[in-house]
Amino acid sequence: MKAVQYQQVGTKPVVVEVPKPEPGPGQVLLRVTAAGMCHSDLEVMSWSADQSPFELPLVLGHEGVGTVAELGPGVRGVTEGESVAVYGPWGCGVCRNCAQGKENYCTRNEELDIRPPGLGRPGAMAEYLLVDDVRHLVPLDGLDPVQAAPLTDAGLTPYHAIKRSVPKLVGGSTAVVIGAGGLGHLAVQILRATTAARVIALDLTDEKLELARKVGAHEVARSDESAPARIRELTGGLGADVVLDFVGIAPTVKLAAQSVAIAGDITIVGIGGAPLPVGFGLLPYEVSVASPYWGSRSELIEVLDLARSGALRAHVETFGLDETPEVYERLRAGEITGRAVIVP
């Protein structure tokens, strides 16, 4: 089968022919119908050999949707031909967090060498994808595969990030979304669908700001040095109750610190890795800072339900498997608006 592989540190991904996997006991083989392209892949491919925890070559793609092609011995719960989304942050299924569905915070995955598809295990940018356990599948129940693929990460991650702040996002509150890309444009919609907050989206280009407005942002502004003052102006001097940073680099983290209100939340989702000084006098009083990772199994079900209700719609551009290396370059150059989805 065809697959998109990251083969060696410092090289671009390539489309190659690899053996079609066979499902072992408990495993499920999917025929991939759509695979979303996440900015994290670019991050992974920028790591040096000693930074990278992954064995190479690696088939990329951690936002996968497919139809059940083959069941390994002993699998029950899905049927051949059924359309399913893949829950990506695989855990052990047994530890305290996994037992609550929070496999994204599995405490034993490293010890047991359990890794997500596309982030250690062969990923979804291929004709077939092997899923380790039926519990990592969620039926699409009528959702379009191309629509559903980005929801498994670009939808699920902001959904989880926003959920912790919902009690603060009451009528009259303000949420700021920094970076209206794949995750950010879905964050805007999730905020609109699940909270009463006024949403301000910040990005660098007109196209991104236009999309943010189209999907429901009340206000949009350039993410530059004037942004904190603009946010203070729009909030009567108070600042934003919640700031979600989908970039995480020095200028955006600084912007978050300068824009947040007293007792507000700053949530850093972007993996830019810039530090945010926390301590007395460094941030407004009682600001809470979090750096969440992906989301839980039950939250993925909630996100798909939200999409089915019509409240969530990914803005997608589709491409064939052969085009993938070039699409990564477009993503790197900031030329993808919304999410790029590969249709093998």
* Residue from 27, 173, 195, 223 in contact with ligand NAD (CB under 6 A): 223
**CB neighbours of residue 290 within 10 Å:** 12
Whole-number minimum distance, CB 72 to ligand NAD, in Å? 29
Q: Which of residues 20-49 bind ligand NAD (CB under 6 A)?
A: 38-40, 43
CA-CA distance, 184 to 244, in Å (whole number)? 9
* Residue from 18, 166, 204, 274 in contact with ligand NAD (CB under 6 A): 204
Residue 259 sits in the site that holds ligand NAD (CB under 6 A): no
CA-CA distance, 20 to 123, in Å (whole number)? 13
106 contact choice in Zn ion, ligand NAD, none (CB below 5 to 8 Å, kind-dependent): Zn ion
> Quick one: CA torsion of 330, 216, 206, 240, rounded to 10 degrees?
-100
CA-CA distance, 141 to 133, in Å (whole number)? 19
Look up residue 302 and give its amino acid: E
* Residue from 88, 123, 181, 228 in contact with ligand NAD (CB under 6 A): 181
Longest dimension (CA), the chain: 62
Residue 188 sits in the site that holds ligand NAD (CB under 6 A): no
Whole-number minimum distance, CB 278 to Zn ion, in Å? 25
Residue 203 sits in the site that holds ligand NAD (CB under 6 A): yes
* In contact, 116 and 63? CB cutoff 8 Å: no
In angstroms, the Cα distances linking 179 to 162, 185, 205, 259 are: 15, 8, 10, 15
Residues forming contacts to Zn ion in the complex (CB under 5 A) are 38, 40, 91-92, 95, 98, 106, 108, 153
95 contact choice in ligand NAD, Zn ion, none (CB below 5 to 8 Å, kind-dependent): Zn ion
Instruction: Give the nearer residue to ligand NAD in terms of CB position, either 84 or 256.
Output: 256
* Binding map of ligand NAD across residues 48-87, x = CB under 6 A, - = no contact: ----------------------------------------
* In contact, 319 and 340? CB cutoff 8 Å: yes
Dihedral (CA of 274, 276, 277, 278) sign: negative
Whole-number minimum distance, CB 257 to Zn ion, in Å? 25
The DSSP bridge partners found for residue 203 are 222
> What's the count of helices (H) and strands (E) in the chain, helices before strands?
10, 16
* In contact, 212 and 219? CB cutoff 8 Å: no
β-pairing verdict for 28-36 and 63-71: antiparallel
Residue 159 sits in the site that holds ligand NAD (CB under 6 A): no
* Residue from 165, 174, 252, 267 in contact with ligand NAD (CB under 6 A): 252
Q: Which of residues 308-327 bind ligand NAD (CB under 6 A)?
A: none
174 contact choice in Zn ion, ligand NAD, none (CB below 5 to 8 Å, kind-dependent): none
List the alpha helices (DSSP H) in 85-197: 96-99, 145-150, 156-163, 182-194
Residue 248 sits in the site that holds ligand NAD (CB under 6 A): yes
Dihedral pair phi/psi, residue 281, rounded to 5°: 85, -10
Residue 299 sits in the site that holds ligand NAD (CB under 6 A): no
The DSSP bridge partners found for residue 30 are 68, 129
Instruction: Give the nearer residue to ligand NAD in terms of CB position, either 29 or 257.
Output: 257
Residue 90 sits in the site that holds ligand NAD (CB under 6 A): no
58 contact choice in ligand NAD, Zn ion, none (CB below 5 to 8 Å, kind-dependent): none
Site residues, ligand NAD (CB under 6 A): 38-40, 43, 153-154, 157, 178-184, 202-204, 208, 223, 246-248, 251-252, 269-272, 292-294, 331, 334
